[in-house]
Chain A
Amino acid sequence: AQSVTQPDIHITVSEGASLELRCNYSYGATPYLFWYVQSPGQGLQLLLKYFSGDTLVQGIKGFEAEFKRSQSSFNLRKPSVHWSDAAEYFCAVGARDDKIIFGKGTRLHILP
């Protein structure tokens, strides 16, 4: 079955600290992988995506993610978080030109 697991429901980090959000997926075909961010009252914004090639992908707002096929993982990282990064983050998987399957999300809290 196709699925995405985000094992951390909530994560709290101090402003300026590094961040890693975990994501594992189960997908039968070659996956297209995404990270989206959703701020309160806002729509989903794409942070980054992986389709092929370099397994380390760079996104907007200083985020990056690394695709590890052997671990079926696509973890999101940021070296130094800002208070404005507080939001809900969704990992997602899909096939080309197909629906997207989302994880349940990780809510990021930032301590001043």
Chain B
Amino acid sequence: DTGVSQDPRHKITKRGQNVTFRCDPISEHNRLYWYRQTLGQGPEFLTYFQNEAQLEKSRLLSDRFSAERPKGSFSTLEIQRTEQGDSAMYLCASSLFGLVGNEQFFGPGTRLTVL
């Protein structure tokens, strides 16, 4: 297994456009998390899934954001009508629920720049 992968690694878009990011977790992991990291800050939790069920969403996740994990494997994060404030690194992590230690393995992130 090659770990958590994210695509694309970089995305530049114009304000008002929609963007979609993909995360492929470690294959046997049933938990998948999305975080956002802005410059000079630590990652902030956005949402997470167990299998295909979205279990929690942060108040940071406005109505313009939507996340899915349709078959309990990969996940997508879509941002509609992007704003300059959406510019950040979007991180995905996965873990195996029930495993003592709850270690989350992070992907390399998708860096979004909104012009």
Contact = CB atoms under 8 A, between A and B. Distances in A.
Interface residues of A, number: 24
A32 B43 CA distance: 17
A95 to B, nearest CB: 8
Interface residues of B, number: 26
Given A43-B109, A44-B91, A97 B97 contact: yes
Contacts, number: 54
Interface string A1-26: 00010000000000000000000000
Contacts of A51: 100-101
B11 to A, nearest CB: 16
Interface of B: 31, 33, 35, 40-45, 48, 56, 91, 93, 95, 97-98, 100-109
7 contacts: A43-B91, A43-B106, A45-B106, A90-B43, A99-B56, A100-B104, A105-B41
